[in-house]
Each structure stands twice: as C-alpha cells, then as structure tokens.
Amino acid sequence: MRAIILAAGRGERMRPLTDLTPKPLLCVRGKPLIEFHIEALAAAGVRDIVINTAWLSEQFPVVLGEGSRFGVRLHYSDESAEPVGALETAGGIARALPLLCPQATDETFWVVAGDVFLPDFGFAPAEAERFSQSDLDAHLWLTHNSPHHPRGDFGISAEGLALSEVAPDVPRYTWASVGLFRRRMFEAIPAGSKAALRPYLEAAIQERKLGASLLPGRWVDVGTPERLASLQD
C-alpha cells in the first residue's frame, strides 16, 4: 500500500504566507503540516509516499529529503514544468500513477491533501485491506460541516455508500480530503492533463462504487491564516 499527499496548490487564500512557502510546509506546533501525514502513514506501515508538487516545488525535497528520517521513501511528482500548470486533484493522481502503482498488481492507495490537519486519523491497515478486498473504486472519510462549507459534499447511505443527493432530513457531510482509491479510477486520464476529481466521484456514486464513512477525531481545513493560527495553541 502506497500513498499520495496532494501538495501542488498555490494556496491563494493563505497569502502572503504562501508567497514564499508552500502551504503544506507551513508549520503547525513546530513542524511542517505535511509531516503529520508522513509520520501517521509511516506508523501505519506505509513505506512509499508520493508527494505531488507544483508551487515552489523545489522546497519540498530540501525540507523533507528522501524520507529516511521518517522511515519511508518519498517520491516527488513535480508538476511545475507542465504546460497547463498544476494538474488539479485527478490530473495530479493520474500523473503520479507510475509511482503509486509501479507493479501490475498494485491497485489501491491512500490519498490525503497536504493542507488538512487530522492528527487522530491512523490510516489503518485494516481499512486498507478491507477496501482492497471490495469492489469499490474509492472510499472517502467525511466530517461534520464547518462554517465555511455549511452545505457539505455527500451523504452516507445505510449501506455505507456516498450519496450526492439526499432527502432534506438526511445529513450531508464534508469530504475530509482523505480516502482510499483504486488505480482504475484514473487510468483513462492522459498523463499531464488537468482534471478535477469531483466528476469521477460522481461517476462512482452513479455506479454504487463510492464508499463513505465518518472521520474519527479532529479535522481542520487549513485554508486561511486564521485557521492556521488556531492550531498553534
């Protein structure tokens, strides 16, 4: 099981902090935000982690190195030279597939955004194994809606599937930007092309192949300087 940490975004809402530092490298409680993910993945037994980069991409290997101090191997998928710029979520994952699934038998991997704080999430090997044995294209962890995203993204059916449309009395939740995915979801995307993830999630919902469950523990979308400051206490 490998993982990709999505770290290619410009971080416009975090300016001026992100003018000189990529958002995932901004510090929370004395260390770069992205290191919380790397340490949690390492603790779960993940040994190969891909980081896709674009904005100020040269800073990531300088700060993080090749991964030995975390007990992992870090692989960088640098999108900074792409003619269309950063490739968005699905496009970035598609470009990184040779690093995420180097063997023909490699099918599933973790995905997590580099700009979210979820210190209680364990990337449990049992969850990864359960997913690999399923027929799902992806499984998302959802969290309760925050004031800046009050309508949420998806509901959860009684069978544990994600729903894009729910009845008025059924709660909707926000995708916590962490999940398990299968290679086949991205294989048709040409490497180097820009592609958003949401249409692929909606297609999986229509095919009843998108699982969902509630995220345990804390979650913060570190999207503004104020939210970053709130994590320093």
Rounded to an integer, the average pLDDT of 182-189 is 95
The model carries a pTM of: 0.94
What does the pLDDT read at residue 146?
85
- Output the domain CATH number for residue 149: 3.90.550.10
For position 83, what pLDDT does the model report? 87
Q: Confidence band (pLDDT; 50, 70, 90) for 44?
A: very high
Is residue 93 within 8 Å of residue 183, measured between CB atoms?
no
Q: Is pLDDT at 192 greater than 80 in this prediction?
A: yes
CB atoms within 10 A of CB 1: 20
Contact 142, 174 (CB under 8 A): yes
Q: Which two three-digit tokens encode residue 8?
A: 């290619």
CA distance 99 to 2: 9
DSSP annotation string for 187-224: TTSPTT----SHHHHHHHHHTT-EEEEEPPS--EE--S
What pLDDT was estimated at residue 168?
78
Displacement of CA 106 from its chain's centroid (Å): 18
Rounded to whole angstroms, the Cα distance separating 112 from 105 reads 22
Q: What is the pLDDT of residue 39?
A: 97
Min mean pLDDT across 143-147, 197-201, 206-210 is at 143-147
pLDDT tens string 96-116: 999 999 998 889 999 999 999
Q: Is 163 helix (H, G, I), strand (E, B) or coil?
A: strand
pLDDT at residue 151 tops 80: yes
Contact 96, 189 (CB under 8 A): no
| CA distance between the termini of the chain | 34
Q: 44 is in which domain, residue-wise?
A: 2-230
d(CA 164, CA 175): 12
Q: Is the backbone of residue 227 left (phi > 0), alpha (psi -120 to 50) or beta?
A: alpha
Q: Rounded mean pLDDT of 182-190?
A: 95
Q: What is the mean pLDDT of residues 75-88?
A: 91
**Quick check: 153 and 175 in contact, CB under 8 A?**
yes
Return the percentage of the chain with pLDDT > 70, whole number: 100
Query: What's the domain count of the chain?
Result: 1
Nearby residues of 103 by Cβ (< 8 Å), 6 or more positions away: none
- Whether pLDDT at 233 is above 80: no
Does 167 have pLDDT greater than 80? no
Average pLDDT over residues 22-44: 95
**Mean predicted confidence (pLDDT) in 36-61:** 96
Q: What is the model's pLDDT at position 163?
A: 94
- Residue 14 — pLDDT band, cuts 50, 70, 90? confident
